[in-house]
């Protein structure tokens, strides 16, 4: 059971959540998207939001700016979160066109604001679960897409809530996070998405 829960934290890593959001969007959205557009968007987002942050974390570790690549301490999270904010700004400015994919644009805008809130919390010495932020962003976005397109996605949403519970359990078992930090992560993951709903929902 411990191995399974530990695997969940890696498979549902916060860095992968934006990519999962894109895949869920193209799976749900009832509009035709050419295969080459889908592939180019997914590849671009994979490079900018997943591969680049991983490379930067190892770079920071080698330079001595962080103590480890797992980013378990608040001090280790500050610079990576700041760099991640820059990458999300780059994403909304260059990779996601608000006119072609408004839902995706505001999803990444919400992800950007959530990352900013996470950084502010850490600067104020309030630790927060990044795993809970990530899974909550995806869950909230999927519910919004279901409402927006009037498509019943009850099984997908139910599955995400199950994953939400598994992530929370795994985070409590395998990290130094408290229940309060998990709740704070859930609130940070939800609030920006809810605030932006009025712009596209």
pLDDT digits (tens, 9 = 90+) for 186-199: 999 999 999 998 88
The tokens of 115 are what?
A: 């990352």
Considering 62-71, 96-105, 107-116, 171-180, the range whose residues carry the highest mean pLDDT is: 107-116
CA distance 35 to 40: 9
CA distance 24 to 141: 9
Sign of CA dihedral 169, 178, 111, 51: negative
- Say yes or no to pLDDT of 94 above 90: no
User: Taking residues 49-59, what's their average pLDDT?
Assistant: 88
Residue 57 is classified by DSSP as H
pTM: 0.89
**Tens-place pLDDT, residues 20-37:** 888 898 888 887 677 777
The tokens of 154 are what?
A: 């009850």
**pLDDT of amino acid 5:** 67
Confidence bin at 140 (pLDDT 50/70/90) = very high
Query: Per the structure, how many domains does the chain have?
Result: 1
Kindly list the distances between the CA atom of residue 199 and the CA atoms of 32, 57, 168, in Å, as whole numbers in the listed order.
23, 34, 30
Backbone angles phi, psi at 102, to 5 degrees: -60, -35
CA distance 71 to 67: 8
Average pLDDT over all residues of the chain:
86
Lowest-confidence range among 70-74, 85-89, 114-118?
70-74
Full domain range(s) for residue 12:
2-200
Would you say 102 and 200 are in contact if contact means Cβ atoms under 8 Å apart? yes
Confidence bin at 1 (pLDDT 50/70/90) = low
């Amino acid at each position: 059971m411990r191995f399974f829960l530990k695997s969940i934290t890696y498979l549902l890593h916060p860095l992968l959540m934006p990519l999962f959001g894109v895949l869920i969007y193209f799976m749900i959205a009832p509009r035709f998207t050419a295969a080459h557009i889908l592939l180019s968007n997914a590849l671009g987002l994979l490079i900018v939001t997943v591969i680049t942050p991983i490379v930067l974390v190892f770079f920071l570790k080698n330079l001595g700016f962080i103590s480890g690549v797992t980013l378990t301490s608040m001090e280790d999270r500050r610079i990576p979160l700041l760099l991640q904010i820059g990458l999300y700004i780059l994403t909304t400015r260059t990779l996601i066109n608000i006119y072609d994919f408004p839902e995706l644009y505001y999803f990444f805008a919400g992800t950007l604001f959530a990352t900013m809130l996470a950084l502010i919390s850490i600067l104020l010495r309030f630790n927060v679960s990044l795993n809970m932020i990530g899974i909550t962003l995806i869950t909230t976005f999927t519910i919004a897409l279901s409402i927006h397109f009037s498509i019943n996605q009850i099984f997908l949403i139910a599955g995400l809530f199950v994953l939400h519970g598994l992530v929370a359990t795994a985070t409590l078992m395998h990290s130094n996070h408290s229940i309060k930090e998990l709740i704070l992560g859930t609130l940070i993951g939800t609030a920006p998405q809810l605030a932006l709903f009025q712009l596209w929902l």
